[in-house]
Amino acid sequence: MATLRSIRPGPSGGNVPATMDGYIRVSRVSGRTGESYISPKVQREKITGWTKLHDITLGQIVVEEDVSGAKPIDERELGKLLKRVESGASEGIVAFKLSRFGRGALETLQAVERIRNVGGRLVTVEDGVDSAKPGGRLLLTVLAGLAEEELEQRRSGWAAARRQALERGVHVGPTPVGYRRRGDGRLEEDPLAAPFIAAAFRRRAEGESWGAIARFLEQNNALPLARKGRKSVAWSRSGVKSVICNRVYRGELRDGDELVCENAHQPLLSEGEWKLAQLGGIGPLYVKDGSIAAQGLLTSLVFCAACGHRLSLTGSTAKNGERVANYFCRIHHAGSGDCPEPAVASTRTLDPHVQGLLLEALADPASKLVKAHEVGARIAETAEPMKQAEAELDTFLATELASVLGPDRYRAEVERRQDAVRTALREFDDAMRANLILGQEKSRTPKQLVTDWPTLTMDEKRAVVRAYVDRVIVAKADPKRRRWQPISERVEVCWTGQPG
């Protein structure tokens, strides 16, 4: 049995007072400072008063603010005090109340046992509990259970209060960047930051990286808000991602995944803009400079003639060591099986061929390329399939068929519907981009596009191609001819607004 270390020998053979450490914890500061913030002061006074009364030398005092008692002890500064007791540097720990020491009954009792096993003691002043005294262990057990029960009651009460606030349209938690709080606690648009947050969504929809969007927000002084007295001076990539994924910018308030209040405040963007931002950087349409996909003029527009699936981009190494991009069919497709004749085409042959056809059509006044006034109809045509694809996915998820279909088939069916939503969103996005290019009052005429083509950037060329080209269908090369077969023999270009 461990011997209690209440006193220790002095250098001349006498005894000196035992040294014990103090532990102070506040679960939530909530912005309180100054004279009104008395909790740590009261705890310190109680701890120091007890040590003086019992002739105990007070060693280290640890103060933890904004730390939950349910947090594991070894992840708190309290863990260091326990190690000091176990190493002999301290004879025990003094806390204001046992609930300040911890809120989890099992872990609290395990910590007390660690202290007792090395002859130390835990004292909670306000409770009048000393683990070294008879009956102290029993009393600690009872109090630890009460502390945990109190925490559960507080959590339950907080959850109910939070839910009621959300139902009233009051956002619970830190104010999202782009909004500010009204007197009644509801959100309203921040005229200084809101335009830049909305622009961040558009930039993500266009494929801009998290880091680039973070720099954009910093340059325009749309910074994260102060947290726990510390102000962030820069956005992190994860911070930007959390903004783009947050449905609060659609005017919604949620309790987890559950929608509680749909029109709680003014949204900063439309549903279509939010969804396009979620796709940004995921699909082959969104490419970055320097990547293999950046070499493709027709990225996301090329389809396999045999299976009808969109071709992906991959890289291969030429004899001179240069990396070259190629469109290829993935062969294996969930829900439709393997492709019987997978198509492959190099960007070096397919892109120039389609580009030549497009420039030839632009230069021909009699061509039947889509006109600016026809683009609006295309937007309407692509909007309806997008709504239908979203509705089908939502309906399928709501039916909860996992137990009926089995996990593998259910996952495949969900992925198939998700792919349909992505495809519909991309087609709608293409129509919107075409509207921007062809519908602007001062946009280039077809003849001007032909003249300016050599000076356009790759992104500008892609935008023009997507305005006029609906899709490019590529067949598998003749096995006997392969690279010697002209690309024109196995390619069909379907122009926007024309049956193809």
Give 258-294 pLDDT, tens digit per residue. Answer: 777 888 899 998 877 787 788 765 444 444 555 666 6
Options 3.90.1750.20, 1.10.260.40, 3.90.380.10, 3.40.50.970; CATH for 179-279 is 3.90.1750.20
pTM over 0.85: no
Q: What is the DSSP letter of 322?
A: -
Better pLDDT: 189 or 13: 189
Residue 381 has pLDDT above 70, yes or no: yes
Residue 445 has pLDDT above 80, yes or no: no
Q: Is the dihedral of CA 304, 310, 312, 313 positive or negative?
A: positive
Mean pLDDT for the stretch of residues 20-42: 69
Which residues of the chain does CATH 3.40.50.1390 include?
A: 7-155
Q: Is 247 helix (H, G, I), strand (E, B) or coil?
A: helix
**H-helix or E-strand containing 273?**
helix 271-279
Cα 67 to its chain centre, rounded Å, is 24
**385 contact partners, CB below 8 Å, separation of at least 6:** 424, 427
Cα 209 to its chain centre, rounded Å, is 13
Phi/psi at 230 (nearest 5 deg)? -115, 135
CB atoms near residue 327 (< 10 Å): 26
CA distances from 86 to 23, 63, 93, 113 (A): 16, 20, 11, 11
Q: Report the C-alpha gap between 30 and 374 in whole angstroms.
A: 57
User: Among the listed ranges 5-14, 168-177, 327-336, 350-359, which one has the minimum average pLDDT value?
Assistant: 5-14
Phi/psi at 225 (nearest 5 deg)? -80, 165
Closest to 477 (Cα-Cα) out of 316, 344, 315, 314: 344
* Structure confidence at residue 6 as a pLDDT band (50, 70, 90): very low
Report the pLDDT value the prediction gives residue 1, as an integer from 0 to 100.
41
Which residues of the chain does CATH 3.90.1750.20 include?
A: 179-279
Mean pLDDT for the stretch of residues 207-215: 84
Report the pLDDT value the prediction gives residue 230, as an integer from 0 to 100.
47
Give 88-103 pLDDT, tens digit per residue. Answer: 889 999 988 877 887 6
Which tokens in the block code for residue 207? 């494929």
Kindly report the CATH class assigned to 7-155.
Answer: alpha beta
Q: Is the dihedral of CA 31, 36, 41, 46 positive or negative?
A: negative
Residue 407 has pLDDT above 90, yes or no: no
Rg over alpha carbons for the chain, rounded to the nearest Å, is 33
- For the chain, count helices (H), then strands (E): 15, 19
Report the pLDDT value the prediction gives residue 261, as an integer from 0 to 100.
82
The upper half-sphere exposure of residue 171, i.e. CA atoms within 13 Å in the direction of its Cβ, equals 24
Q: Report the C-alpha gap between 124 and 118 in whole angstroms.
A: 19
Residue 436 has pLDDT above 80, yes or no: no
Give 169-206 pLDDT, tens digit per residue. Answer: 888 778 889 999 888 888 999 999 998 998 898 888 77
Residues 318 and 453: beta-carbon distance below 8 Å: no
Closest to 450 (Cα-Cα) out of 464, 440, 433: 464
CA distances from 387 to 262, 394, 421, 433 (A): 19, 11, 9, 19
* Structure confidence at residue 474 as a pLDDT band (50, 70, 90): very high
* Structure confidence at residue 344 as a pLDDT band (50, 70, 90): very high
Better pLDDT: 292 or 47: 47
